[in-house]
């Protein structure tokens, strides 16, 4: 075994799964207890800045583009005309930045309950916050569930749920009642997309229940897209889309191929490939 060249590490243990993930760090550069959660910022040896919330790794400068692009571009290129978009959560503003690359988007609301996440992102992840002043965007620091419930019926085209894990206050974002409120707020061709954890760890449990609850809420079609994400459990993550009327296995492929903006991971071929589910996940969702 080679000698460890780095003396200091931050490690997140996934106890029930019997695994963990660690990053070598230079220093902890910020820590605070907000009104809602404990937030830490590390300077790592190889992944740039790292944000940790309640001891769970949220994002790093090196690999966040994987998550933010896959939470944004597949659903926006799937929808025929995504003009009005809401992001529930997403306080680091990386998803907001990706959504606003789409010229079709006319109005964007981001609703995150903890303003401190956004302010720390502006300080330590400024590259994610370059679109915060876009006139199309409104950053609201409020309860996203209540906000969705207060929206007029059929007033939104796309809802992106960029949430933390389904524990504590975020657990309700994975509930049937929340999906029902989203279904009500979406237009007839509207699409909801929810981050849905690891296919390898949660396919038979959380992801399967998401599909069941989304369909029980009135969505006619659901589909899970896996993608890589090194700092999350197993390094393999997913998002699950639910549609009122738009086919989820089709997308505006020509528009994706001719996109006028730069991405690091997403392209039309990646989108097409992500629609193909591994056999074990298909079995888990059909059992």
Q: Hey, which residues are catalytic here?
A: 162
Compute the distance between CA of residue 230 and CA of residue 65 in angstroms, rounded to an integer.
11
108 and 85 in contact (C-beta within 8 Å)?
yes
Query: Long-range CB contacts (< 8 A, 24+ apart) of 26-33?
Result: 29/124, 30/120, 30/123, 30/124, 32/116
Q: Find the helix packing angle between 279-286 and 208-216, rounded to 10°.
A: 50
């Amino acid at each position: 075994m080679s000698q460890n060249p780095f003396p200091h590490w931050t490690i997140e243990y996934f106890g029930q799964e019997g695994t963990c993930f660690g990053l070598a760090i230079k220093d902890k550069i910020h820590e605070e207890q907000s009104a809602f959660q404990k937030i830490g910022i590390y300077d790592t040896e190889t992944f740039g800045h790292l944000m940790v919330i309640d001891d769970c790794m949220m994002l790093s400068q090196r690999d966040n583009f994987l998550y933010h692009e896959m939470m944004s571009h597949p659903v926006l290129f799937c929808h025929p005309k995504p003009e009005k978009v809401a992001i529930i959560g997403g306080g680091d503003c990386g998803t907001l930045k990706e959504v606003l690359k789409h010229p079709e988007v006319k109005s964007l609301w981001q609703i995150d309950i903890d303003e401190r996440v956004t302010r720390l992102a502006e300080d330590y992840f400024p590259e994610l916050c370059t679109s915060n002043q876009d006139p199309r965007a409104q950053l609201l620091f409020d309860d996203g569930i209540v906000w969705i419930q207060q929206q007029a019926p059929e007033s939104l085209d796309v809802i992106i749920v960029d949430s933390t894990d389904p524990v504590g206050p975020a657990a309700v974002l994975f509930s049937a009642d929340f999906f029902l409120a989203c279904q009500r707020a979406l237009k007839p061709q509207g699409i909801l997309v929810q981050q849905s954890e690891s296919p390898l760890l949660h396919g038979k449990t959380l992801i399967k229940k998401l599909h069941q609850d989304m369909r029980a809420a009135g969505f006619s079609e659901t589909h899970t897209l896996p993608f890589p994400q090194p700092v999350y459990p197993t390094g393999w993550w997913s998002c699950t889309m639910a549609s009122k009327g738009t086919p989820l296995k089709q997308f505006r492929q020509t528009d994706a191929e001719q996109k006028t903006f730069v991405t690091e991971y997403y392209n039309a071929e990646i989108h097409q490939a992500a629609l193909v589910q591994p056999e074990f996940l298909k079995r888990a969702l059909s059992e």
